Structure 1
Amino acid sequence: MSATKTILITGAGSGFGEGAAIGLAQQGHNVIATVQILPQLNALREKAAALGLNNLRVEKLDILDHYDVENGLKWDFDIFFSNAGYGESGPVSEIPLDLVRKNFEINVFAPLAFAQRFARKLIDEKRSGKIVFTSSMGGLFTPAGFGTYVATKHALESVAEAMQQELKPFDIKVQTINPGPYLTGYNENMADTAFRWLDDSVNFTKRAELKATFDAMLGVPEGRLDPKEMIDAMIAIVPSDTGKFRNVVPQAIEDMLKESQRNAWEATI
């Protein structure tokens, strides 16, 4: 691939995706920044115009919308940056299964389906390329209260690891990016999802107890990191032709995850 890449990003309507889309365009890459809903489309187009980024193209691509997906696969790009995602919170012991299925559909099945189609397109055209999945620190450990979301990210880790081996002979690279607890609003919004169904008169998990669990994780400085650090890392990782398969940021979270995985071998019931 050339030094200047054409990169399709999903989930670019806010947070990491929006920041990475703008940053990659500012670096000179051709970016197709895709958003889920029309209000995000207009907002990001206005930002791109204000910044003079003629190389930042904004399109609608809801990864669950068949017509959006078919349209998106017609575009020409070198890198698929699968960043769109969603999180359901609440105790796995009690969460309604339709919410679990929904979370897997958004975070695993839809990104995999698009990645499969993109990989096949590259292979048929005898082109090299790259697929980058936004996973999570939660793809490598499991905190109580977020089990459904992190289960999707555990699954995504396995999907990416298998694809990385399978597509290497075709010169298609695969990576994951695993953000730590950055303050984009995503984690806080995810924590709120449980309280739309959790009912003290029905569930054995009580609302106050779950809220205290979330506050302990997200209400401290360590759970509210500056997202610029992660966006800068994405801007460096996504277009690169070399690098690690798994990319955890910041380093302190990578160290914590490695220690957690070591301790898992000695955990008792």
Structure 2
Amino acid sequence: MTDKKRILITGAGSGFGEGTAIGLAKLGHKVIAGVQISPQVTALRRKVEELGLQDNLRVERLDILDAYDVKFALTWDIDILLNNAGIGEAGPTFEIPIDLVRKNFETNVFAALDLTQRFVRKFIDEKRPGKIIFTSSMGGLFTPPGYGIYVATKHALEAIAEALHDELRVYNIKVQTINPGAYLTGYNETMADNPFRWLDDNHNVTRRADMKAIFDSMLGTPQGRLDPTEMIDAMIQIVPADTGKFRNVVPQFVEDMLKENQTKAWANEI
């Protein structure tokens, strides 16, 4: 691959996706920012114009659950696919409605895998190298209470990425994961609000106040409200690179915590 890459980023209407798209375009890469809904297209295109990045940053609607959007996306010539789109459903795993579980897996796992398979086949048929990246999470490597379903989708992505990493090596297609810590993009905070749509003290075992206390204990600390600029700066370097680690956890203290947690897991008892 050349120094300047053609990169498609899904879920680029806000947060890490938007920041990474802008940062990569500023470095001269040709970026397609795929956003979920039409108002995001208008808003981001206006920002692109204000930044003077029209030559490098193209904004398109790409709802990864929409078959027509996906079919159109496959007409784009890219070197790198960054699967960044995702949603988060939180709440007690033993009570969360199953339809919300299915919805979370449909977006985070099935749709991401479907898009990946299609671009992988495109790379192989065109006999050229490529790169697939999944925005996973620190939650792809451990499971805090209250986030079991969301992180289950990220655990699934970790397994998929590991398999693809080995399976696609022969085709010169590289695979990576990016595993952010708890950055303050609004994503985690919105996810923590989601259970209160359905948690009912007159019906559920889990009390709303107890659930809120769990979320506050995680998101109300400095470690749960990290500056997303750090993560975006890292992604801008990781995404276009021809070499690097398979798994990329940022910041370092989160990587250290995850390794310690995984070691302790072997001693867990019921």
Q: Structure 2 length normalisation: TM-score?
A: 0.99
1:43 aligned to 2:72? no
Residues 121-154 of structure 1, C-alpha deviations (whole Å, 9 max, x = no match): 1000000000000000000000000000000000
User: Which residues of structure 1 form unaligned runs of 5+?
Assistant: none
In structure 2, what is the Cα distance between the partners aligned to 1:26 and 1:181?
Answer: 26
Q: Give deviations 1:95-138, integer Å, cap 9, x for gaps.
A: 01110000000000000000001000100000000000000000
* RMSD value, Cα: 0.4
Specify the alignment match of 1:10 in structure 2.
10
Amino acid at match of 2:57: L
Partner residue of 1:206? 207
Q: Give 1:17 shift.
A: 0.3
Find the residue that maps to 2:86 and give its secondary structure.
coil
1:196-240 deviation digits (Å, cap 9, x = unpaired): 000011110110000000001001111000000000000000000
Q: What is the aligned partner in structure 2 of residue 140 from structure 1?
A: 141
1:37-76 equivalence runs, <5 A: 37-53=37-53, 54-76=55-77
Q: Secondary structure at the match of 2:11?
A: coil
State the alpha-carbon separation in 1 of the partners of residues 171 and 11 from structure 2: 27
2:129 and 2:199 map into 1 onto residues whose CA distance is 47
Counterpart of 1:4, as a letter, is K
Q: Following superposition of structure 1 onto structure 2, how do residues 223-242 of structure 1 map, counting pairs within 5 Å?
A: 223-242=224-243
Alpha-carbon distance in structure 1 between the residues aligned to 2:211 and 2:228:
25
| Superposition pairs of residues 40-119 of structure 1, within 5 angstroms | 40-53=40-53, 54-119=55-120
Secondary structure of the structure 1 residue equivalent to 2:21: helix
Runs of 4+ in 1 over 4 A off after TM superposition: none
TM-score, length of structure 1 as denominator length: 1.00
Q: Which SS does the other structure have where 2:168 is aligned?
A: helix
- Counterpart of 1:98, as a letter, is D
Deviations 1:162-221 (A, max 9, x none): 001000000000000000000000000000000000001111011000000000100111
**Structure 1 counterpart of 2:66, one-letter code:** D
Corresponding residue number in structure 2 for 1:120: 121
Amino acid at match of 2:25: A
CA–CA distance in structure 1, aligned partners of residues 8 and 141 of structure 2: 26
Equivalent-residue separation in structure 2 for 1:206 and 1:265 (angstroms): 31
Distance 1:143 1:80 in 2: 29
The count of residues paired between Structure 1 and Structure 2 equals: 269
Unaligned runs of at least 5 residues, structure 2:
none
Overall identity of the aligned pairs, in %: 71
CA distance in 2, matches of 1:78, 1:148: 32
Q: Which amino acid aligns with 1:128?
A: P
C-alpha separation in 2, matches of 1:224 and 1:180: 9
Q: 1:185 aligns to what? A: 186
1:217-256 matched pairs, under 5 angstroms: 217-256=218-257
